[in-house]
Amino acid sequence: MKLVGWIIRRRCVGKHLTFAEIHVEESEKNWIGKGEKVSVVFQRNSSAWNRDFDDTFPTKKASLPYAGKVCVDLSEPLTKDSYNYPVCTWELLENPRDKALEAAQENGSDAISCTKYLKSRGDAFLKFNQNFQKSVIESEDENKRKTRKNKTCAHADVLACNVR
């Protein structure tokens, strides 16, 4: 079963095991719908893993870039209770790092704008995590309220000391 999608979560657990969650863009014979999430597992010592592709095994998070577009060939889960599909082979179709570097190039020179690079990477992250941005804004607002409250309390304490 082949599918093409975007990496929205990944976790590398050493040289032999990696997990990822993929936001499906298209799948072979539509066995899974567009926009659904699929959990996959890369297991080097699994019967599903094609040993001819050992050099492509993702041993680091950088090997599976967040918001990277991938094409994966999956097999059926090894047990009925498992919801992780084992990966047989995979290919990185679009690397967000390369796109960000391209967007950050300054007028065809070797210079790179850090602001443009980080903005591009941040946009790729937020593409699949709109809730993250909302939670960050809410926590910043909460911190501002606490700071204002602490300043008000400190100011009231100073006034109380001056009155005595």
For the chain, 164 residues long, give each residue's pLDDT as a single digit of tens.
889 999 988 898 888 888 999 999 888 877 788 888 999 998 887 777 777 776 777 878 788 888 889 999 988 887 777 788 898 888 889 988 888 888 888 777 788 888 888 888 888 888 877 766 555 556 666 666 666 655 555 555 544 555 44
The tokens describing 131, both together, are 């809730």
Residue listed under structure tokens 């080097």: 44
- Which H or E element spans position 87? strand 84-94
The Cα–Cα gap between 73 and 10 comes to 17
The dihedral built from the CA positions of residue 129, 122, 34 and 93, taken in this order, carries a sign that is negative
Query: Which sequence spans correspond to the domains of the chain?
Result: 2-94, 95-128, 136-164
Is the full-model pTM beyond 0.75? Answer: no
The Cα–Cα gap between 81 and 87 comes to 17
DSSP structure string for 2-51? EEEEEEEEEEE-SSSEEEEEEEEEEEGGGSS-TT-EEEEEEETTSSSS-G
Top CATH class of 2-94 equals mainly beta
